[in-house]
Structure 1
Amino acid sequence: MRKFLLPLLFILLFIAESLFVQFLPGDFFGGNRILAPRFLFSALLLLTIFVGRKKGIIYAAIFGLIFDIVYIEIIGIYLFLFPFVAYVISKIMHVLQANIIVAYFVSILGIALLEIGVYEMDYLIHVTNLDFLDFLNLRLYPTLILNAAFLLIFIYPLKRYFEKYAEALRDE
């Protein structure tokens, strides 16, 4: 039963992102701002930090593929970027101490890397014509603020759950 809770958590976060976008009014935070909830990706980064690189990258690849299939016409952007950013974050955490404050700021950095990577890929294949400064003001900053608030609320329960999960893996 315990091994089904982690995928269930990620599926619920995946659905929560979609519901958040659907039920939040478009002009709630100032008209033309684009808020991209990255609740699933935040949890994947915390999994990478508190459980381990291998589990984090595997789940990031699986949910990156699911994200591509459900939301994006081009399969491969999130399939590549989710595990890549998880890997970069795991390398950063080899240098830093894995406490809750460091995990908070490193997760925000990971979300910023993901957003910039998605923007650059979209700009490269001409899906968007937004210049970088407009991207920063209209999408990146509001997205980081939204996800920083999400992390502020949910980082402690997720950290405790992932630490218990890591301990259960060691006991097996």
Structure 2
Amino acid sequence: MQALMVCEPLPALKDFLESEDAALQREGSTIIANIVAFGGPHVNEVIDTGCAALMIQLLRTTADEETQRSAARGAASLAKRGALAVLPQLGEAATVDAILRALQTGLESGSLGTVRATVDFLEEVQCGLQHCPAKAAGAGRSLLEDVSRTCPDIAVVNKVKRILQTLQSEE
């Protein structure tokens, strides 16, 4: 990762995210998600260059399902690295709603990686689901219940059950 970051790819990745080309947006989101997953000072660099905010905006607005799933994985990596403190938009209802859409498409397409990432995100940002409009929050709970019944990954199922228990106890 150090070798990659020495080349200072973030300005180019920012251009990818700002592009109108869905393939470039998807690749930019994927690379940023991987950079954030490695952690360390690179997370701050991603945030400081504006790449994280652009990726969250892309997650919220893109019509391309693959790009949305890629941006969802990036948002999940950011949430797992504690970026909610410096990126409050991660916990906003619009982001949670976009994550729920990505979870739905991940389930429908059989993308277990997307299901894992979106559930990880929801585990980190549980309070965001509480702040969604009632319709979205209800749909989110219903979707999570579907995941708990159908997902083949027991670790994901256990996380979903914990999220549902927490949400139920907060009502």
- Using the size of structure 2 for normalisation, the TM-score is 0.30
- Using the size of structure 1 for normalisation, the TM-score is 0.30
| Structure having greater relative contact order (Cα 8 Å, sep ≥ 6) | 1
